[in-house]
Chains A and B, each alone.
Chain A
Amino acid sequence: MNDIIRLIDLWKDGDQAAARSLYDLHRNRCFRLAYGLLGNEQDAEEVAQDALTYALVNIAKYDSSRAQFSTWLHTIVVSRVRDRQRRKRFDLVSLASWMQGGGDSPSNAPTPEQVSELHYRQIAVQTAVNNLVPQLKEAIVLRYWAGHSFREMAEIINCPIGTAQSRVRRGFEKLRSELTPAQLTELSRENA
Chain B
Amino acid sequence: MLTAYLHDALTAEDKQRVEAWLRDEPSVRAQLSDLRQTQLWIKRDLRTHLDTQDVPSSMTFDAIASRLHTPRKRVKPNLRTRWVANFAGLAALFFLSFALIYSMGDIGGTIDPQNQPGSALVITATPAIVEADVDVPIGDSPTIPTPTPTPLGPTPIPNSSIPTRTSDS
Contact = CB atoms under 8 A, between A and B. Distances in A.
Interface of A: 11-14, 16, 19-20, 23-24, 27-28, 31-33, 35-36, 41, 45, 48-49, 52-53, 56-60, 121-122, 125-126, 129, 140-141, 144-145, 150, 162, 165-166, 168-169, 172-173, 175-176, 179, 184, 187-188, 191
Interface string B1-16: 0011011110000000
A191 B61 contact: no
Nearest to A161: B9
B92 interface: no
A11 B71 contact: yes
Contact of B63 (A12, A49, A150, A187): A49
A126 B49 contact: yes
Interface of B: 3-4, 6-9, 35, 37-43, 45-51, 53, 55-56, 58-59, 61, 63-65, 67-74
Contacts of B53: 31-32, 35, 41
A20 B61 contact: yes
A125 B49 contact: yes
A49 B4 CA distance: 36
Contacts of B40: 191
Contact of A19 (B39, B50, B68): B68
Contacts of B51: 32
B58 A45 contact: yes
Q: State the majority secondary structure of interface residues on B.
A: helix
Q: State the majority secondary structure of interface residues on A.
A: helix
Contact of B38 (A49, A126, A129, A176): A176
Nearest to B73: A12
B71 A14 contact: yes
A49 B63 CA distance: 9
A56 B68 contact: yes
A140 B43 CA distance: 9
Contact of B7 (A35, A48, A168, A184): A168
Given A14-B71, A24-B61, A144-B47, 11 more contacts: A16-B68, A32-B55, A49-B63, A57-B69, A125-B42, A141-B46, A145-B46, A165-B4, A165-B7, A169-B4, A172-B42
